[in-house]
Amino acid sequence: MDDHKDTTENSPGGEDQQDITSHQHEHGDQDEAVAESDEERVEQELLEEEAHPAAAGEMASHEQHEHAGHEGEGHGHGSHEGHGEGHGGMHEGHEQMFRRRFFVSTLLSIPVLLYSEMLQEWLGFSVPAFPGSEWINPVFAVIVFAYGGVPFLQMAVPELKDRSPGMMTLISMAISVAFVYSLASVVFPRQSAFFWELVTLIDIMLLGHWIEMRSVRRASSAVDELAKLMPDTAERITDDGETEEVPVSKLSEGDLVLVRPGASVPADGVVEEGDSDVNESMITGESKPVSKEPDDEVIGGTINGDGSLRVRVGATGEETTLAGIMRLVEEAQQSKSKTQVLADRAAGWLFYVALGAAVVTAIAWTVAVSFDATVIERVVTVLVIACPHALGLAIPLVVAINTSLAARNGMLVRDRIAMEDARNLDAIIFDKTGTLTEGEHGVVDMATVDGVDEDDALALAAAVESDSEHMIARAIREAADERDVPTPDATAFEAIKGRGVRANVDGNEVYVGGPNLLAQLDSEIPDHLQRFADEAGQNAQTVVYLVRDGELIAAFAMADVIREESFRVVDALHDLGIEVAMLTGDSQDVADAVADELGIDTVFAEVLPEDKDEKVQELQDQGKLVGMVGDGVNDAPALTRADVGIAIGSGTDVAVQSADVILVQNNPMDVVRLVKLSKASYRKMQENIVWAAGYNVFAIPLAAGVLAPIGILLSPAVGALLMSLSTVIVAINAQLLRRVDLSIPELPDGTPATDAQPAD
């Protein structure tokens, strides 16, 4: 004991520790008071956010970006916490607030129910009375109204200020009338007590809102889950070859990082050393690990396999693919579809319908039985039945699940209206190269004019293409390397947009390009080269010409393999009743050969990049709703012109701003999944609106007392229960969207389809 005491007293900082402990005890009560004050402030902010959902979304987005700018300054988990609090945290805050108010209000409602004379009579029980017990019902009911009901009144204020009454206004009207009626029963004892209906109405409303917030939070977790993919720290390789652990936020472009087996890739970059398989399913939806070797790109947040990789960082922070995906998912969750706008408008209409029905009910019952408590009860019941809780949940929940399901399958939706329009597409135009085909050309044949050697022609073409990164240029250079043909130097290189390239080689002006180049140069094609080109076209090969000093001297046949998936995509779109068109800058013969093999309906060939949008307009002028599938760069005008612009490409292209929908994988099959998901989502929206609005159409007349002559009357509490059941049905129906089948049929030869990924 003494040793222990001496150690404590003599230990360095021991007195400081005692001071800290004393300070903590002195301020304990103050801290608790501050915590309670903060909790009240947070609840008030949540109520304001609930009343202004759009402003809340903007605030959350702003807080995320603000946090992103400061993350890493002394803590490793900033990225996770920032996103969690910014987006999912907002929904979780709403959920916890309504959950807490529901349980407290329900607990306070128990005495009201026990001392309700009507319930005692119905259920055949009694409770002991005591002096003052007659005040239990009014006192506890007022507390429940103040704690559980007033928040709905607060959220209705902005609707009334904006002159756009909706769900909160209707709820507020219902509980306010019930509250006033209940207090009146105390002043005028001849009226029947109404307290148990008031508290159960508030409890059920809180329960419905809690369920709604819980469902929306779970369905809106896509951004939070994406945020968790990025590791907190990275192993940076120093100049002397050692490794140091640093926060991911401290990485800069050009840094070299070590990615150990099983670790997450800390940033976008390029593999410099090592071989491994990387799991990219959480980013691209690709279920199989992707093999990575030197010069291959990797995406931050993906998970390394069994090998070790050294990666040169290419993008960090807000520039990474993952950050781009998160922005797109957020945009999709905050945007509204046409159906959602219609549902919001319907809620406003329902307010006036409820008022009208309440007025008619009041007049009719007053005429029938004179004005008494029964009239008020009928009016309150009508207002309760009219509450559009289910209608308010019908569309947002489907949208949230749709966004999550799309993201899990590599589809990032930037425009909700475009996602909804995809179900009505009459025609979809595909860019050929790299979309329907592999996009990897190779020289499979060549022909020259008399007096020109094939190796010399190939060397000349390779020289002109030496500074170009186009796939055709790479194919020509690879062909020259395979033949060990020495390549002369070229100067004054120039790319001619949509036509080819030119350069000076050994004092000669040399061009390499396709049919559009010959049209520009007004060059004539010798007969034997024309026959060569025709034959190549019949074999679905692209022909590239070599022109020296204005004379056409050689032609190269380039092959681009059709992707296996393309056959399945065209068939699946035809099964959905959608016309398939193809757009390419290749010759008509090449385009026709590919189209014939795939069964494509419409072909646009020899189209320059700046003219692609005109082809989209051409189909639109025929009254068709047109989708355009391209790489999002050269096809930007066409993507913008289309009714639904779909950018397709590798993960590094997800931030394309010209498209409405971005398909992370370079896989045309996702276009079919997009259409199928659009159809399924819209069907769920329609079903939910029917469930929500149809319930009101049926229940309002019933609440007004249409069946009163045969003894059927709905009390406000029963009306609230029916309303909540409608909300639950809508929520369950929306959840069924997760079971939609997005798989693509197998090929005739039995090649399996890529499995679709479920929603989070």
DSSP H helical segments within 387-526, as ranges?
A: 389-408, 416-421, 454-464, 471-482, 515-521
CA-wise closest residue to 284 among 306, 305, 301, 267 = 301
β 427-431/626-630 pair status: parallel
Q: Is 534 a known active-site residue?
A: no
Could you tell me where the DSSP H helices lie in 306-422? 321-334, 338-369, 373-386, 389-408, 416-421
List the catalytic residue out of 431, 613, 635, 660: 431
Joined tokens for residue 755: 């499995």
The continuous run of DSSP H or E covering 272 comes out as strand 268-273
Strand-strand pairing, 490-496 and 500-505:
antiparallel
Q: How far is the CA of 428 from the CAs of 570, 601, 629, in angstroms? A: 10, 10, 7
Please state whether 49 falls in left (phi above 0), alpha (psi between -120 and 50) or beta: alpha
412 contacts 665 by C-beta, under 8 angstroms: no
DSSP 85: I
| 169 Cβ contact partners less than 8 Å away, ≥ 6 residues apart | 156, 159, 160, 351
The answer to whether 208 and 727 are in contact (CB under 8 A) is: yes
- Report residue 8 as tokens: 């404590």
The end-to-end CA distance of the chain, in Å, is 57
Q: Is the dihedral of CA 663, 666, 670, 672 positive or negative?
A: positive
Strand-by-strand arrangement of the 290-292 sheet? 290-292, 276-279, 303-304
b/e map of 588-604 (b: 16 or more CB within 10 Å)? ebbbbbbbeebebeebb
How far apart (Å, rounded) are the C-alpha atoms in residues 345 and 391?
Answer: 10
**Nearby residues of 319 by Cβ (< 8 Å), 6 or more positions away:** 268
Name every residue whose Cβ is closer than 8 Å to that of residue 92 and which is 6 or more positions away in sequence: 217
Rounded CA-CA distance 546/462 in Å is 10
Strand partners, 502: 494, 511
Distant-in-sequence, close-in-space partners of 144: CB < 8 Å, separation ≥ 6: 105, 108, 109, 112, 198, 199, 202, 203
CA distance 625 to 630: 17
Q: What is the CA radius of gyration of the chain?
A: 35
Structure tokens at 358: 């309440």
Integer Cα distance of 219 and 493 in angstroms = 53
Residue 678 identity: S
Q: Tokens in use for 95?
A: 């959920």
Question: Which conformational region is residue 404 in: left (phi greater than 0), alpha (psi within -120 to 50 degrees), or beta?
Answer: alpha
Find out whether 300 and 313 touch, Cβ atoms under 8 Å: no
| Catalytic site positions | 431
